[in-house]
Amino acid sequence: MKRISLDEYAKTHGQGKTARDLNVTQAAICKALQAKRNIHIFVDSAGSVIRGEEIRPFPHQQK
């Protein structure tokens, strides 16, 4: 299994395919990229997307 940043995956495959692979809208991918969210895509050895995962601080809410 390989871990790729959302930014790198979207640059390689385009926002439309990235959105389809993650079962979200293209607008959601665009917004996540603009916000520079720390999202990684997990890809299996055949190149299929397994899941996306976001890493963020806990607690997430700022004071």
pLDDT in tens, 24-46: 999 999 999 999 999 999 999 99
Which residue is it, tokens 């720390």? 38
Question: For the chain, what is the mean pLDDT?
Answer: 93
Which residue is it, tokens 């806990």? 58
Per-residue confidence (pLDDT) for residue 57, from 0 to 100: 85
- In this prediction, residues 48-59 reach a mean pLDDT of 91
Per-residue confidence (pLDDT) for residue 61, from 0 to 100: 72
Q: What is the CATH number of domain 2-54?
A: 3.30.240.10
**pLDDT level of residue 63 (50, 70, 90 thresholds):** low
Domain ranges of the chain: 2-54
Tokens of 6: 């959302």
